[in-house]
Amino acid sequence: MTAGYGNGPDIISSCSINVDRGEIVAILGPNGAGKSTVMKAMLGLLTLKSGSVILNGEDISKLSPQDRVKKGISFVPQTKNVFAELTVKENLEVGAFLREDNINRVIEEIYDLFPILKEKSSQIVGQLSGGQRQQVALGRALMIKPSVLMLDEPTAGVSPIVMDELFHHILRVKETNVGIIMVEQNAKQALSISDRGYVLVTGENKFEGSGEELLKDPEVRRSFLGG
């Protein structure tokens, strides 16, 4: 994919990202590397200058963001990813806006993945802790039964303990056969739970490999993992 904003310079250039079902892929890189731009391009929030977005073998590059969601892409932005004035259950119900079947069964599946949400189902989300709100955001994104779940900085601003807890939940989501693409600043921790990773520099693929390979790569360690 190659894309930028308006008539400005390209932010990403010949950048390739691939994820399979039941796999976690981390997108890493310094600030300004184009990580969030990659997600916007895949979601259709940015028009590609060249390249394409393929989902389950179908070219969806010309589809609107809403139609991409219908095809099975779900996205959790870094901020404003819950309705703070609604209850936990109401947030999940909003996430099911595309479903025409009985959503209660799906809600029960979400409660199995995130037990705290069942316990707090009638609580206003604005009263929850940051980690619990992120679980609401994840649960809501899963209500459409996506084939691909995209997460933008899921652990931003939370404590190390909450970060570990969220990564544990993301691993559980992976077990439901969803492909997960994750932009993450906590590079070491993200790679430790990722099947594969991409390191972007100035909008291009600089390194790619398994999570383990990238953690061991001397140049990746020196440049992006703090030694």
DSSP 135-147: HHHHHHHHTT--S
- Tell me the two tokens of residue 97: 């806006």
pLDDT of residue 101: 78
- Going from N- to C-terminal start, the domains of the chain cover 1-72+146-227, 80-144
Distance CA 107, CA 109 (A): 5
> Looking at residue 127, what DSSP letter applies?
G
User: Cα 75 vs. chain centroid, distance in angstroms?
Assistant: 6
Kindly tell me the burial class for residue 219, based on how many C-beta atoms sit within 10 Å of its own C-beta (0-12, 13-18, 19 or more): exposed
Q: Which residues in the chain show pLDDT less than 70?
A: 226-227
pLDDT of residue 80: 87
Q: Tell me, what amino acid is at 85?
A: E
Q: Edge-to-edge strand order for the sheet containing 148-152?
A: 73-76, 148-152, 179-183, 24-28, 196-201, 204-210
pLDDT of residue 222: 87
pLDDT of residue 7: 85
- Determine contact, residues 31/9, Cβ cutoff 8 Å: no
pLDDT of residue 209: 96
pLDDT of residue 227: 54
What is the pTM assigned to this prediction? 0.91
- Determine contact, residues 190/26, Cβ cutoff 8 Å: yes
User: Cα 133 vs. chain centroid, distance in angstroms?
Assistant: 15
CATH superfamily, domain 1-72+146-227, is P-loop containing nucleotide triphosphate hydrolases (3.40.50.300)
pLDDT in tens, 121-163: 999 999 998 889 999 999 999 999 999 999 999 988 888 899 9
pLDDT in tens, 42-63: 999 998 999 999 999 999 999 9
pLDDT of residue 96: 85
User: Cα 99 vs. chain centroid, distance in angstroms?
Assistant: 21
